[in-house]
């Protein structure tokens, strides 16, 4: 499983040699961009868009312009997520739309992005809430001409807050044999379904660092924005994930 270190620090792109995961919202405010020294992936910023505005304030044409700029100026971009619509119940209440409409708009956007810019590395995203919702979204993609089973990677949305429930394994198992990327799933979740994931991302290191004293030698109040802490956390997390996937019932993640 490929593990992307989540960050809002654009300046890390030319400082690290590990896969990074950045949001469009962090990049779009920059007049100049660094040249990446390692592979990275782009989050569309959909969670912030829907939770803040109840809709997308950036159309497909604008998103395409941004992604093309990042591909050309930064380089090393492995994929860019489509402009999906989250399906958590509180998101539906915020938009006033049905779950089915959120799914329809997610699929329609993926189709539009690919039609208008087929040269860019778009990743389709499955949205839903229950297991059957994701299966219906899969069917919507098939009807739209996107065969998810043939995709190198398919995003799995609206799961980041459900890693402590039995729902996540059920959803992931139902979506086999898709090559799934799980957005923001915590490490406890990864350890339960990591054997079925192609990749995942996490920014949990920042949350953990905010609640702890800084590393020895760090002068800041905490390490919530510290590259040194992020890399240390990543290495420890990867060791825990590797061990847990080989002995999933015998290890408890302690970070």
Length of the chain measured in residues:
255
Triad 136, 153, 240: Cα angle to 5°: 110
* Cα 11 → chain centroid: 19
Per-residue pLDDT band for 163 (boundaries 50, 70, 90) equals: low
Q: Is residue 212 part of a domain?
A: no
The tens digit of pLDDT for each residue in 2-59 reads: 999 999 999 999 999 999 999 999 999 999 999 999 999 999 999 999 999 999 999 9
- For the record, the structure tokens of 196 come out as 């079925």
CA–CA gap between residue 102 and residue 165 (Å, rounded): 23
pTM of the model: 0.92
Q: Is residue 234 part of a domain?
A: no
72-76, 99-103, 187-191, 218-222: the lowest-pLDDT one = 187-191
Which residue matches tokens 């040249």? 35
The answer, yes or no, to whether residue 161 has pLDDT greater than 80, is no
Q: Which domain holds residue 110?
A: 2-202
Q: Is residue 209 part of a domain?
A: no
The tens digit of pLDDT for each residue in 94-136 reads: 999 999 999 999 999 999 999 999 999 999 999 999 999 999 9
The answer, yes or no, to whether residue 154 has pLDDT greater than 90, is yes
Say if residues 202 and 209 touch (Cβ distance below 8 Å).
no
Q: Is residue 235 part of a domain?
A: no
Number of domains in the chain: 1
Per-residue pLDDT band for 249 (boundaries 50, 70, 90) equals: very low
Say if residues 25 and 45 touch (Cβ distance below 8 Å).
yes
The answer, yes or no, to whether residue 218 has pLDDT greater than 50, is yes
Q: Is residue 74 part of a domain?
A: yes
Per-residue pLDDT band for 244 (boundaries 50, 70, 90) equals: confident
The answer, yes or no, to whether residue 93 has pLDDT greater than 90, is yes
Per-residue pLDDT band for 195 (boundaries 50, 70, 90) equals: confident
Q: Chain-wide mean pLDDT for the chain?
A: 92
CA–CA gap between residue 77 and residue 56 (Å, rounded): 23
Q: Is residue 166 part of a domain?
A: yes
Q: Which of 204, 226, 202, 205 is nearest to 214 (CA)?
A: 226
CATH code, domain carrying 73: 3.20.20.60
The answer, yes or no, to whether residue 235 has pLDDT greater than 60, is yes
Give per-residue burial for 52-83: e unless 16+ CB within 10 Å, then b.
Answer: eeeebebebeebbebbeebbeebebbbbbbbb
Q: Is residue 227 part of a domain?
A: no
pLDDT of residue 251: 35
Q: Is residue 37 part of a domain?
A: yes
């Amino acid at each position: 499983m490929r593990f992307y270190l989540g960050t809002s620090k654009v300046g890390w792109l030319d400082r690290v040699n590990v896969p990074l995961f950045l949001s469009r919202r962090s990049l779009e405010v920059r007049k100049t961009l660094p040249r990446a020294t390692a592979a990275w992936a782009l989050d569309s910023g959909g969670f912030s868009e829907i939770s803040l505005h109840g809709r997308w304030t950036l159309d497909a044409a604008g998103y395409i312009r941004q992604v093309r700029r990042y591909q050309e100026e930064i380089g090393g971009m492995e994929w860019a997520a489509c402009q999906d619509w989250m399906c958590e119940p509180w998101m539906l209440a915020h938009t006033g739309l049905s779950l089915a409409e959120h799914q329809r708009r997610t699929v329609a956007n993926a189709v539009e992005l690919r039609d208008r810019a087929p040269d860019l590395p778009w990743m389709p995203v499955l949205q839903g809430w229950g297991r059957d919702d994701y299966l219906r979204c899969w069917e919507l993609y098939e009807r739209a001409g996107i065969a998810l089973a043939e995709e190198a990677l398919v995003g799995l949305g609206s799961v980041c807050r459900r890693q402590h429930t039995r729902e996540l394994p059920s959803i992931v198992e139902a979506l086999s044999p898709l090559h799934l990327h799980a957005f923001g799933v915590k490490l406890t979740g990864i350890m339960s379904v990591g054997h079925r994931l192609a990749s995942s991302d996490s920014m949990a290191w920042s949350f953990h660092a905010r609640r702890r004293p800084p590393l020895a030698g760090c002068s800041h109040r905490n390490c919530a924005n510290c590259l040194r802490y992020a890399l240390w956390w990543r290495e420890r997390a990867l060791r825990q994930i590797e061990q847990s996937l080989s002995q999933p019932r015998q290890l408890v993640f302690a970070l």
